[in-house]
C-alpha cells in the first residue's frame, strides 16, 4: 500500500520509508505531493499527536496517511521531555540544544539512575475517518556525552538496552553484530531497525494492517506496546 508520510523531519522520513519498504509498503513525502504544512501537535500523548497529524494530512491530500509521534522519557526527570521532546529547549527541532539541556539536567546523576525509553506512536489514517495506531518502545539509558554521527535527535546520547548477540527480532531476522554500549547514533540503519521504538511500532502496525483495511467495522484501534528486541536479551 502507498501512504503519504505526515512529517517534515528528514531523519524521521528516511526511517519511515526504510521500515515501510521492509514491511512491503511505500510512501510519498509531503514535498512529493506538493503539500507544505506544519500541523499543530496539541495532543496530550504521543498517540493523540500521531492521530492529529495523520488526520489533518489525510484531510488535505485525500490519501491514506501515516504519521509518527515519538519522544524520549527519562526516569530521573519524571518522564521528561515526553511529548515536548522536539522542543525541550524551547525551540522546535534544535537537536543540539535539546541534547545540551538534557545532559545539563542530568549532570551528576549516576548511570544507574539515568534510565530512559524512546516511545513511538504510529498512526495510519484512511479517507473516511478510520485509523489504526500502534505503539512501540525501546528501553535504555542516557549517556554522559554524545557518541556517533548516525541518526538524529537524541540518538547520540541514548544507549539501548536490547543489543548484542545473534537472535530473532520482531522482523524475524538475525542481528549479528555486537552493539553493546553503543548509542543509537553509533548503530547502522539495520542495527537500529532491529531494536528501535519506531521499528517496533511499525512492525506491530504491519501485522494488523491487512485485517484492519478489510474490516470496515473497525473504526479506531490503538494497539498495545510492542518492543523490538533480540530474544533472550
The CATH number linked to 110 is 3.90.950.10
123 assigned to some structural domain: yes
Q: Give the pLDDT confidence score for residue 118 in this predicted structure.
A: 95
233 assigned to some structural domain: no
Tell me if 104 sits within 8 A of 145, measured CB to CB: no
Q: Which residues pair with 132 in a beta bridge?
A: 124, 221
C-alpha cell at 189: 540503519
131 assigned to some structural domain: yes
74 assigned to some structural domain: yes
Q: Which domain holds residue 196?
A: 2-227
109 assigned to some structural domain: yes
CA 118, 172, 18, 62 dihedral sign is negative
232 assigned to some structural domain: no
211 assigned to some structural domain: yes
Dist CA 5 CA 27 (whole Å):
6
Active site residue 75: no
Number of helices and strands (H, E) in the chain?
A: 5, 7
Number of domains in the chain: 1
Running along the chain, 233 residues long, what does each successive block of 10 average in pLDDT? 90 84 86 92 94 96 95 97 96 94 98 96 95 93 96 94 56 55 88 84 86 87 67 32
* CB within 8 Å of 216: residues ≥ 6 apart: 130
From the candidates 68, 69, 155, 193, give the one annotated as an active-site residue: 69
| Burial zone of 149 (CB within 10 Å; 0-12 exposed, 13-18 middle, 19+ buried) | exposed
Tell me if 144 sits within 8 A of 137, measured CB to CB: no
Amino acid at each position: 500500500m502507498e501512504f503519504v508520510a505526515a512529517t517534515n523531519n528528514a531523519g524521521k522520513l528516511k526511517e519511515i520509508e526504510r521500515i515501510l519498504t521492509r514491511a512491503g509498503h511505500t510512501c510519498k513525502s509531503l514535498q512529493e505531493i506538493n503539500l507544505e504544512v506544519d500541523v499543530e501537535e496539541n495532543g496530550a500523548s504521543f498517540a493523540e499527536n500521531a492521530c492529529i497529524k495523520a488526520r489533518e494530512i489525510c484531510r488535505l491530500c485525500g490519501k491514506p496517511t501515516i504519521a509518527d509521534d515519538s519522544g524520549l522519557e527519562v526516569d530521573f526527570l519524571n518522564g521528561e521531555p515526553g511529548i515536548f521532546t522536539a522542543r525541550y529547549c524551547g525551540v522546535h527541532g534544535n537537536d543540539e540544544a535539546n541534547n545540551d539541556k538534557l545532559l545539563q539536567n542530568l549532570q551528576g546523576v549516576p548511570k544507574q539512575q539515568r534510565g530512559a525509553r524512546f516511545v513511538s506512536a504510529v498512526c495510519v489514517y484512511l479517507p473516511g475517518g478510520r485509523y489504526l495506531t500502534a505503539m512501540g518502545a525501546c528501553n535504555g539509558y542516557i549517556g554522559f556525552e554524545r557518541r556517533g554521527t548516525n541518526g538524529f535527535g537524541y540518538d547520540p546520547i541514548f544507549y539501548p538496552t536490547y543489543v548484542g548477540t545473534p537472535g530473532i527480532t520482531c522482523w524475524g531476522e538475525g542481528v549479528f553484530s555486537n552493539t553493546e554500549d553503543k548509542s543509537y547514533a553509533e548503530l547502522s540503519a539495520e542495527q537500529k531497525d532491529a531494536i528501535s521504538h519506531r521499528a517496533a511500532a511499525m512492525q506491530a502496525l504491519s501485522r494488523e494492517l491487512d485485517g484492519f483495511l478489510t474490516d470496515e467495522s473497525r473504526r479506531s484501534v490503538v494497539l498495545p506496546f510492542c518492543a523490538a528486541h533480540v530474544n533472550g536479551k
